[in-house]
Structure 1
Amino acid sequence: MMDWVPVVFVIFKFLVLGIGMFFAIKWHYDQGKKGRERERGEVLRTAAKVAVGFVLALVVLAVVTFVLGRKLGLDLNFS
C-alpha cells in the first residue's frame, strides 16, 4: 500500500505554486499595462546593476572557495 503523505504534500505543493504563479503573472501583467510610460533606461540601468552584482558575487564566492580549500589543504591546481 502506498503512503498517502507524499502524495498529499506534492499535490498541495503544486496547488500553492500554481496559484502563486498565476497571481505573480497577473500582477506583472497589470503593472506592465499601467507602467508603460516609464523610461526604458531606468529598467536597463537596474538590470545592469543586478548583472554586475551577480558577477561580483560569483567572483567573491570563487575566491572564498579557493582560499578555504587551500586552508583545508586541498590540491586546487588546474594542471
Structure 2
Amino acid sequence: MDWVPIVFITFKVAVFGTCMFFAIKWHYDQGKKKGKVKRAALRGSSLLAAALVLGIVIVGIITVVLMSPLDMSLP
C-alpha cells in the first residue's frame, strides 16, 4: 500500500510535464506563425489572469464576511 502514492505522484508528474511541454511548444510555434496575433493573445491571457486574481480576492472577502458571524477567526 505504500507504493500507491509513489506511483500516482510519478504518473501525475510525468503527465503534467508532457502536457506542459507540448502546450509550450504549440504556443511557441503559433507565435512564430503570426506576429500580430501574439499581442492579442498576450492581452487576452493577461485579462484572464486579472479575472482569476479578482475572483480569488472576491472569494476570500466572502469567506471572511461569512466567518465573522460565526465567531471564527483566521489562524
Q: Return the TM-score normalized by structure 1.
A: 0.60
Q: Which amino acid is 2:48 matched to?
A: V
More helix, by proportion: 2
1:12-64 superposed Cα distances (whole Å, 9 cap, x missing partner) = 22322222122112111111111213362x345422x3354234324422321
Name the CA distance, whole Å, in 2 between partners of 1:73 and 1:36.
Answer: 55
Partner residue in 1 for 2:10? 11
> In structure 2, what residue type is equivalent to 1:69?
M
Structure 2 stretches lacking a partner, 5+ long: none
Using the TM superposition, give the Cα deviation of residue 68 of structure 1 relative to its aligned residue in structure 2, in angstroms. 0.8
Computing the radius of gyration over CA atoms, which structure comes out larger, 1 or 2? Answer: 1
Aligned-residue sequence identity (percent) comes to 51
What CA RMSD, in Å, does the superposition of the two structures yield over aligned residues? Answer: 2.9
Write the distance in 2 (CA, Å) between the matches of 1:10 and 1:21: 16
Flag structure 1 segments of 5+ consecutive residues without an equivalent.
none
In structure 2, C-alpha distance between the alignment counterparts of 1:74 and 1:10, rounded to whole Å: 35
